[in-house]
Structure 1
Amino acid sequence: MLSRVADNLYWFSRYVRRAENMARLIDVNGQIQLDLPRGAHIAWRPLVNTLGAGAQFERLHGGETPHEADVVRFLLVEPDNPVALRNVVSHARETLRTVRETLPQDCWVAINDLHLYIESNPERAGSRRHRPEFLGRIVDGCMHVSALLTANVSRDTGYQFLRLGTAIEQADMTSRIIDTAAAGLIQARSDDDAEAFQAMQWMGVLRSLAAYQMYRRHLRQKVSVELALEFLLKNREFPRSVLFCLSRIQGILPQMPPRRQVEQVFRGAMGLVFDANPTRLAVVGPGSFVDRLQQELAALHGAVHESYFQA
């Protein structure tokens, strides 16, 4: 397989999974806001930093306290934000355009329909009334593409690059969504409300990852910081947990051309997650750990790029 084709398949799957997770995160944040009592509010600004767009947001909006509409528009449809959801879907479409012959035609139709929907309805992103429908349409479109890739693509080397991109992207997005909770999205009215709002915040994190029902099924306990971290970092059965994604990568690598650099970096990421102590992270906060995990995942991506795509 040409390295250019492998690179595009890898990035196409990453863009699709990134768009889905961004839509889920913003949608759940809006739903939490509706459930908050008077006097409490959502801090939307941490979402910008979590998704790696802080500098660009400051350039466009300055140092003033941003309104919800400013942040949501910036993250969803701002043309000058390279990581806006609108641009992520556009990148997915353009990436697939160059390798259309390698994937079923239905994949192109689905991603093109999603792109055209976003381009035709950008005003819905800024409207509280229409935003849930807008984001739900994006999640459904991304899941449709993912289903087509799973059901209709031959299990050859190209498919392994699709799976690899999905696994790395999901592990990264799971860590970033955990980081939003560490940043403190819900601003409590008083210290007396802090514990209740903390539980609500971590329920929101689980819902952002479509994990709340599976959390209750596996653990059968109320949501706590420690148990949520345990589930999202180390659960071996839930497909969006970090350990599940890394275990999937562990199964993919033997089916690809061997690259020692990739295997070495992968072992570092796996070791970090294995050694994680959710009880301690719940006390000190998961922020520093998440930073280290994102560095390991970035190093893994760099090793994949250097080993497979620069040849």
Structure 2
Amino acid sequence: MLSRVADNLYWFSRYIRRAENTARLVGVGSMLQLDLPRSVRFTWRPMIDTVGAGEVFNALHPDAGTDVADAEVVRFLLLDELNPSSLRVTLTQAREILRGIRDALPQEVWEAVNDLHLYVGASGERALQRRYREEFINRTVDGCLKVSGLLSANVSRDIGYQFLRLGTGIEQADMTTRIIDAGASGLITPRTEEDREAFRNMQWMAVLRSLAAYQMYRRHIRQRVTGEHALRFLLQNTEFPRSVQFCLTRAQHVLPTMPPRPSVDRHLNRVVGMTRNADPVWLAAQNPASFMDDIQTRLSDLHQAIVEGYFYN
């Protein structure tokens, strides 16, 4: 397979999974905003920093400060064409990649991506209103899942499919850490210190629901939602498909089917060990944002090793 085609397949799967999880990320804030009493202060700004777009947002909105309206943040994360990580831009990039490799994937995949791209363009503005936001997020997530289902059901298990799987695993691991980061960050300012624990658990419940993980959490953990249990489940569970450990294990299973690249194996084993050895009790007691940043940095190093090993060697 040409390295250009392999690169495009890898990035196509990453963009589809990134679009899905960007919508889920906005869903974290939307769920919390609906569940909280009006007297509790909710701040949307940390979500922008979670996706690493703080500098872009500051450049576009120099006078925004920290108290940013929800519609402004939602527009930036979902629709802003000047934000390279927005949902709209991500889907546009996936669509343009697919246009160049349409002979490598089934026609139904092109149709599904194109339909989703047109839907976001036509209905995205409605998502700025709270009453329509959940519908838009659900429709977008369903569209991305349809593409993932088509790839899983209709693509031959050749080397191209392995690059799709590799991109999916790495992107989902990265986005799971970002959604954890968003849920654990300072989105909520409690009225009193006594309320802090209750609202913190509410945040973790929103994180689980946004990742479609709440029911599986209840099945595996069988205890009330706490930061410690949620972190253990989302980081280290080996059976839930969106947990960081599951996604990295998926990537480990892919590598033996591909040409050997010791640097890729080394970087992947490093981030797997870091995740496996994490202490959820300690992370829940502290701010887990720093640990999530470390995982994201290691995943970035892994991505760079993949690029150098498979696409531009």
Please give the TM-score of this superposition, normalised by the length of structure 2. 0.97
Partner of 1:278: 280
Aligned partner of 1:77 among 79, 103, 113: 79
Q: What aligned pairs does 1:124-135 form with structure 2 within 5 A after superposition?
A: 124-135=126-137
C-alpha distance in 2 between matches for 1:142 and 1:277 = 33
Amino acid at match of 1:113: D
SS at 1:130's partner residue? Answer: helix
* Deviation for aligned residue 1:41: 3.1
Root mean square deviation of aligned Cα: 1.0
Q: What aligned pairs does 1:2-151 form with structure 2 within 5 A after superposition?
A: 2-63=2-63, 64=65, 65-151=67-153
C-alpha distance in 1 between matches for 2:204 and 2:220 = 16
C-alpha distance in 2 between matches for 1:190 and 1:32 = 18
C-alpha distance in 1 between matches for 2:61 and 2:209 = 29
String of CA shifts for 1:245-304, please: whole Å, max 9, x gaps.
Answer: 111111000001111110111111111112111111111221221111111100000000
C-alpha distance in 1 between matches for 2:196 and 2:258 = 48
Partner of 2:209: 207
* Deviation for aligned residue 1:82: 1.1
Amino acid at match of 2:218: R
Partner of 1:305: 307
String of CA shifts for 1:126-160, please: whole Å, max 9, x gaps.
Answer: 11122211111111100000000000000000000
C-alpha distance in 1 between matches for 2:309 and 2:200 = 42
State how many pairs are aligned. 311
Amino acid at match of 1:9: L
SS at 1:129's partner residue? Answer: helix
C-alpha distance in 2 between matches for 1:34 and 1:112 = 32
Amino acid at match of 2:32: I
* Deviation for aligned residue 1:182: 2.9
C-alpha distance in 1 between matches for 2:131 and 2:182 = 24
SS at 2:130's partner residue? Answer: coil
* Deviation for aligned residue 1:94: 0.5
Task: Report if aligned partners of 2:169, 2:248 keep a CA contact under 8 Å in 1.
Answer: yes
Task: Report if aligned partners of 2:48, 2:54 keep a CA contact under 8 Å in 1.
Answer: yes
C-alpha distance in 2 between matches for 1:40 and 1:149 = 43
Amino acid at match of 1:228: A
C-alpha distance in 1 between matches for 2:268 and 2:34 = 41
C-alpha distance in 1 between matches for 2:124 and 2:23 = 14
C-alpha distance in 2 between matches for 1:41 and 1:144 = 36
* Deviation for aligned residue 1:184: 2.1
Task: Report if aligned partners of 1:33, 1:41 keep a CA contact under 8 Å in 2.
Answer: no
Partner of 1:250: 252
SS at 1:81's partner residue? Answer: coil
Flag as ranges the 4+ runs of structure 1 deviating above 6 A: none
SS at 1:121's partner residue? Answer: helix
C-alpha distance in 1 between matches for 2:28 and 2:263 = 38
C-alpha distance in 1 between matches for 2:213 and 2:41 = 23
Gaps of 5+ in 1: none
C-alpha distance in 2 between matches for 1:201 and 1:182 = 7
C-alpha distance in 2 between matches for 1:294 and 1:46 = 17
Q: What aligned pairs does 1:150-165 form with structure 2 within 5 A after superposition?
A: 150-165=152-167
Deviates more, 1:147-156 or 1:128-137: 128-137
* Deviation for aligned residue 1:48: 0.3
Identity percentage of aligned residues: 59
Amino acid at match of 1:154: S
Partner of 1:170: 172
Deviates more, 1:279-288 or 1:249-258: 279-288
C-alpha distance in 1 between matches for 2:28 and 2:307 = 33
C-alpha distance in 2 between matches for 1:181 and 1:112 = 31
C-alpha distance in 2 between matches for 1:122 and 1:21 = 16
* Deviation for aligned residue 1:27: 2.1
Deviates more, 1:60-69 or 1:156-165: 60-69
SS at 1:189's partner residue? Answer: coil
